Amino acid sequence: MGHIGDEHGWHLWGHTSLPLPIILYSSERGLSVFSSSRFDHGHKTYGGYALHDGHIVAVNDPDGTDAHHASINEDLTRATWDISITKNVMSLLVSAALLLIIFISVAKAYTRRTGQAPTGLQNLVEPIVLFVRDDVAKSAIGHKYERFLPYLLTAFFFIFLNNLLGLVPIFPGGANLTGNIAVTLVLALLTFIIVTVNGNKHYWHHILAMPGVPGWVLAILTPVEILGMFLKPFVLMIRLFANITAGHIIALSFFSLIFVFGETSAGAGYGVAVGSWAFTVFMMCLELLVAFIQAYVFTFLSAMYIGAAVEEPHHH
């Protein structure tokens, strides 16, 4: 379950994990910065703080006290700002660095090889860029697509890369960034802001007072259209979060069957292990397809919403 959620350390293998920075601030204790290894996997207190059910709480006990029996200071916990570098934050930084490395190297290759056939990473990236440009941005937005193409490409590759990294069990994979609802919320919010800011008069006229509709109908239709403005990004957020998280939970469930049956007898555990392993491999292959589909769906729906906001009225 630690893989699906967020943690203050990055699990590598066995009992080995990569400690991450803990950054806390409260008016009473000031700024506290230390390594998450000080908590000894949540067993010890340090600096007046402890890990409790994955969350950092303020305690009244001295350093090294058993965290499970520490006295929690509820008031100080509520007044403490936790801006630590968690696993998901670290995964965000790693994926951003990977995207920069990939696209800067591809850009330099185009500069060096102007007019020549693409090679290496160019061969991998160029078809996907052309796909997003021609089959997503152009088809959904129209002639104004170039203005929004940088955002759509960024959203697609960010989601696609992190979907793939979530399937890799070892560092720099092993995080569930796109299965974190806070991340999908921000992505959906960006789409909502772009649509709202770039909406033209034609778009707002259809939202607030659809032409040709009687006034008494507008009293019902206008609130529905306004609600739809907020439901669209909400659906974007939930769809990406739910699909990515569901894939990880299914794989976790298959693995759990081994231990559930293993509690009855070793033979049952080994017998179920073969089927669980096979189903997990099948799900991993399916998740490779889902990783691409969910990046495509998010980008295409964002392009459709943007296209509806910037579409010019048709005169007959």
Task: Identify which of 91, 101, 140 has the alpha carbon closest to the alpha carbon of residue 121.
Answer: 101
**Tokens of residue 201, six digits:** 């008069």
Give the rounded percent of residues in the chain with a pLDDT score beyond 90: 30
pLDDT at 275: 84
Mean pLDDT of 280-301: 89
Cα atoms in the 13 Å half-sphere on the side-chain side of 241:
16
pLDDT tens readout for residues 98-112: 999 999 998 888 888
- Asked if residues 173 and 166 have their Cβ atoms less than 8 Å apart, the reply is yes
The reported pTM is 0.85
pLDDT at 132: 93
Q: Where are the domains of the chain?
A: 21-84, 89-310
What is the DSSP code string of 171-200?
A: TT----GGG-HHHHHHHHHHHHHHHHHH--
pLDDT tens readout for residues 194-220: 999 998 888 888 777 777 777 777 788
d(CA 174, CA 11): 8
Q: Identify the DSSP state of 312.
A: P
What is the DSSP code string of 29-85?
A: TEEEEEEGGGGTTTTB-BTTEEEETTEEEEBSSPTT-BGGG--B-HHHHHT-EE---
What lies within 8 Å, CB to CB, of 247 at 6+ separation is: 283, 286, 287, 290
